[in-house]
């Protein structure tokens, strides 16, 4: 494991919890002088539905980019005046799996994420993304709840 944290990464999904996490991460980035990175995952379930419905790869990429732009714009508006994000990272697939793999590939990252981003029913049936990430993360994770 890397000594110290080389950057602060916030997992964004547009939920109130993730926007609150973005604000906390931005404040930490400001205080520590570390870069702030925004990370979003275009959900695999949406990918699968689009592929099954016959969406062509170029349309799928456009859908993912639009999803990312919406999520990143909301996060950037939230952190405006606190810290300027140095990078926007858009991944595709299962959110928990993609976030865990990102942390494994980027040692020294300190992840901030919201406690909940999905409906309570889905969280109860599938287990929350934050719980999966905390259980399997290879570095520091701060889970933010309102």
Q: How many domains does the chain have?
A: 1
Q: Is residue 8 part of a domain?
A: no
129 pLDDT more than 80: yes
Sign of CA dihedral 119, 145, 137, 88: positive
* Six-digit token string for 127: 């287990």
Q: Is 4 among the domain residues?
A: no
Residue 1 within any structural domain of the chain: no
In a domain, 3, yes or no: no
CATH number at residue 85: 3.40.50.620
In a domain, 103, yes or no: yes
* pLDDT tens by residue, 34-49: 999 999 999 876 666 6
Q: For residue 2, tell me if it sits in a domain.
A: no
Q: Which residue has the higher pLDDT, 51 or 95?
A: 95
What string of DSSP letters covers 3-27? SS-SEEEEEE-SSHHHHHHHHHHHH
Instruction: Assess contact for 112 and 140: CB atoms under 8 A.
Output: no
Residues of the chain with pLDDT > 90, as a percent, come to 62
Residue 6 lies in a domain: no
Q: In sequence order, what DSSP letters do the residues of 108-142 get, joined into one string? A: TEEEEEES--S-HHHHHHH--HHHHHHHH-SS-EE
User: Which residue range(s) make up the domain with 70?
Assistant: 13-144
Q: How many CB atoms lie within 10 A of CB 19?
A: 21
**121 within domain boundaries:** yes
- For the segment 90-125, what is each residue's pLDDT rounded down to a tens digit? 999 889 999 999 999 999 999 999 986 544 444 443
């Amino acid at each position: 494991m890397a000594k110290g944290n080389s950057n602060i990464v916030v997992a964004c999904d547009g939920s109130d919890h993730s926007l609150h996490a973005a604000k906390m991460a931005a404040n930490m980035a400001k205080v520590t002088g570390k870069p702030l990175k925004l990370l979003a995952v275009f959900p695999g379930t949406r990918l699968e539905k689009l592929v099954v419905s016959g969406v062509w790869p170029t349309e799928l990429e456009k859908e993912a980019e639009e999803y990312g732009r919406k999520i990143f714009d909301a996060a950037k508006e939230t952190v405006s005046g606190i810290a300027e994000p140095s990078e926007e990272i858009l991944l595709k697939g299962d959110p928990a799996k993609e976030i865990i793999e990102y942390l494994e590939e980027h040692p020294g990252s300190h992840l901030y994420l919201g406690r909940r981003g999905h409906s309570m029913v889905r969280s109860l049936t599938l287990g929350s993304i934050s719980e999966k990430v905390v259980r399997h993360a290879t570095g520091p994770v701060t889970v933010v709840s309102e």
